[in-house]
Structure 1
Amino acid sequence: MSKVEQKTQSMDPTHPWKLTTERIVIAAMLAGLTVCITLIPGIGFIPVPNVSGNATTGHIPTIIGGIVGGPIVGLLTGFIFGLMSLLHASSPLFKDPTVAILPRIFIGLTAWATFAALKRFSFDVAAISAGVIGSLTNSVLVISMGMIRGYIPANGVILASFLPQVIAEAIISAIFAEAVARSYAIVQQRLVHAPETKAREELPY
């Protein structure tokens, strides 16, 4: 186990459900990033030829929020993603808040739970798994809610049309989740454990 992994058994030692200043800042930054991504044509929502109408990368900040900020950050960022999906909707499927917003609230929760469960064994595996599980949470819950609400027929051919999109989104999410989580952990540990080369009285703070 590397030094970074040893020092990052928890991204934040604070209770995961406690709202701290750091978590508020992380949530605000990722919510802003979500808004930016979803407003850029062809980036946040990518047209695809199936019932959903769009693949998405807008769920990635929510996954990252769950990993680095915990469940509250994941919840808040997921809500913003769902809201942007609702506002951006061009099909009846995503004009329904129970499809556009409700499933997205759980993305950050499953990403956080996966990362928290696996990080003691391997930081990188935990981050990659969190990316995959978070993305699958989005896909499975949106498709399931769409079927429950009657927007997506329970047809094998139609459901199979989602498969390439689901796989691609999971792979992209895993790559970004691991890269950002690893970078965040390295920066965090350097800030916390950086050695002081000057005497305390000589430091400017």
Structure 2
Amino acid sequence: MNGLGWEEKKIKLKTRQIVIAGMLGAISIMLGATGLGLIPWPSAAGHATIMHLPVILGGVIEGPIVGLLIGLIFGFFSFIRATNPIFADPIVAILPRLLIGVAAYYTYYLTKNISQSTSLILAGAFGTIVNTAGVLILAVVRGYLPASAGLAVAITNGIPEIIVASVFSLIIGKALINFQKNN
């Protein structure tokens, strides 16, 4: 109990979780710094992103706190490397990214009784929706984009990003889960 009369809860992370958060955060940064995380796509944005995949996978494999930490790394990197005014706003660059891994984890957790494959696909899709919708909604609300442009980007980029993230989440997620079970 603290002086306010309520109990403090401490978040405890295992060494493995900290290492995985750091590694997946570094992969997310590497995808952004090298351009490997941007897939050329004929749209207003000119590319679709897969930089959020490490956040999704970290959330699914190690839980919502690890997903949140990787999302923080991804969001902070987006903020400090902002090449357009939308991402120079820390609320737009960071806030939605904090929620990607959390959303992916809970989607996976709540659907894992269906099948592992379905759960991984849904986690990839929902994590991507949280990222894309979160960034675009905040960009519209904060005046960086008109609603029509936000909707256009959501359709032209969001749908391919959902498909790609779902496929990669299934393939890489299964491999990571199998590796984790065998070690």
Give the TM-score taking structure 2 as reference length: 0.87
Given the alignment of the two structures, is residue 35 of structure 1 paired with residue 24 of structure 2, yes or no?
no
Aligned-pair CA distance for 1:188? 2.0
Aligned residue number for residue 55 of structure 1: 48
The amino acid across from 2:169 in the alignment is A
| Residue of structure 2 aligned with 1:76, choices 61, 69, 79 | 69
8 Å Cα contact 1:53-1:91 kept in structure 2: no
2:48 touches 2:160 (CA, 8 Å); kept in 1? no
- Structure 1 residues 59 and 182, CA, compared in 2 at 3 Å: closer, same or farther? same
- TM superposition shift of 1:179: 1.1
Greater shift, 158-167 or 90-99, is seen at 158-167
Map of 1:164 onto structure 2:
156
Q: Could you say if the C-alpha distance between residues 101 and 36 of structure 1 is closer, same or farther in structure 2, counting changes exceeding 3 Å?
A: same
- After TM superposition, give the deviation of residue 46 of structure 1 in Å: 4.7
- Is the contact between residue 130 and residue 177 of structure 1 (CA under 8 Å) also seen in structure 2? yes
Question: What amino acid does structure 2 have at the position aligned with 1:71?
Answer: P
Give the Cα–Cα distance (whole angstroms) in 2 for the partners of residues 128 and 47 of structure 1: 23
Matched, 1:176 2:168: yes
Alpha-carbon RMSD across the aligned residues, in angstroms, is 1.7
CA contact (8 A) 2:103 2:123 kept: yes
User: Unpaired segments of 5 or more residues in structure 1?
Assistant: 1-16, 192-205
Q: Which amino acid aligns with 1:83?
A: F
Q: AA paired with 1:108?
A: G
TM-score (norm 1): 0.78
In structure 1, how many angstroms separate the alpha carbons of the residues matched to 2:73 and 2:17?
A: 15
1:164 positional shift: 2.0
Kept in 2, the 8 Å contact 1:47–1:54? The answer is yes
Question: Is the alpha carbon distance of 1:116 and 1:47 closer, same or farther for their aligned partners in structure 2, counting shifts above 3 Å?
Answer: same
For 2:99 and 2:170, the matched residues in 1 are separated by 19
1:44 counterpart (27, 34, 37)? 37
Shift of 1:85: 1.1
Is residue 139 of structure 2 the alignment partner of residue 146 of structure 1? yes
Output the CA distance in 1 between the equivalents of 2:125 and 2:28.
Answer: 18
Say if 1:63 and 1:177, in contact at 8 Å, map to a contact too. Answer: yes
- In structure 1, what is the Cα distance between the partners aligned to 2:57 and 2:82? 24
Identity of aligned residues (%): 39
Comparing 157-166 with 179-188, greater Cα deviation is found at 157-166
Q: Aligned to 1:95, what secondary structure does the other structure show?
A: coil
Task: Tell me the SS of whatever aligns to 1:162.
Answer: helix
State the 1:152 CA deviation.
Answer: 1.0
Going from structure 1 to structure 2, the CA distance change for 1:186 and 1:46 (only over 3 Å counts) comes to closer
Structure 2: runs of 5 or more not aligned: 1-10
CA drift at 1:55: 2.9
Deviation of 1:182 (Å): 0.9
